[in-house]
């Protein structure tokens, strides 16, 4: 079985993630600001889904990152996701976490176990990322609409 370089793994991952999404979510945009991670978003690049390596080679972080310059918005989104955490875990499993992060950012994520960078592993990672987007995106849209209505963001 062919092993992909990390760059090739990440460069070809977005097409697999998009193909695994239902049609209404396939308009997601891809951004790769550095060669070691991939981000996906629906128009707000600082509020994005991300695939990035976990330090120490323990696997990949898959999740939704709230990295808006407005740290209050990041917290409001985190609190909103936490209100839905039981239903999120019911769909995605107990490995999902929702927490504060660096620079006033927040994230809803899991660590996907490390594996050899084969096409089979890449397909599994891409499907898991698609599952996370499918689960979290409707919640995000609802929360974003609520925040916009109340705070005018």
Mean pLDDT of 35-56: 96
Would you call 128 helix, strand, or coil by DSSP?
helix
pLDDT tens digits for range 65-85: 999 999 999 999 999 999 999
Place of tokens 């992909």: 4
What pLDDT is recorded for position 37?
A: 97
pLDDT of residue 91 exceeding 80 = yes
What pLDDT is recorded for position 150?
A: 74
Q: Which class is 6-143 in CATH? A: alpha beta
pTM metric for this prediction: 0.95
> Which residues are bridge partners to 107 per DSSP?
65, 99
pLDDT tens digits for range 18-33: 999 999 999 999 999 9
CA distance 21 to 64: 16
pLDDT tens digits for range 123-149: 999 999 999 999 999 999 999 998 887
What pLDDT is recorded for position 148?
A: 80
Write the DSSP assignment of 13-34 as a string of letters.
Answer: HHHHHHHHS-GGGTT-EEE-SS
Domain residue spans of the chain = 6-143
What pLDDT is recorded for position 153?
A: 61
What pLDDT is recorded for position 152?
A: 66
């Amino acid at each position: 079985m062919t092993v992909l370089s990390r760059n090739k793994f990440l460069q070809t991952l977005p097409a697999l993630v998009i193909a695994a999404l239902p049609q209404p979510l396939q308009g997601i945009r891809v951004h790769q600001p550095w060669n070691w991670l991939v981000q996906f978003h629906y128009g707000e690049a600082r509020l994005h889904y991300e695939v990035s390596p976990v330090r120490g080679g323990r696997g990949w972080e898959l999740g939704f990152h709230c990295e808006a310059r407005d740290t209050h918005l990041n917290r409001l989104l985190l609190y909103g996701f936490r209100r839905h955490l039981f239903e999120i875990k019911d769909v995605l499993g107990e490995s999902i976490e929702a927490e504060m992060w660096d620079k006033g950012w927040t994230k809803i994520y899991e660590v996907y176990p490390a594996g050899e960078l084969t096409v089979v592993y890449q397909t599994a990672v891409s499907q898991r990322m698609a599952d996370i987007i499918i689960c979290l995106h409707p919640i995000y849209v609802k929360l974003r609409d609520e925040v916009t209505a109340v705070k005018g963001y």
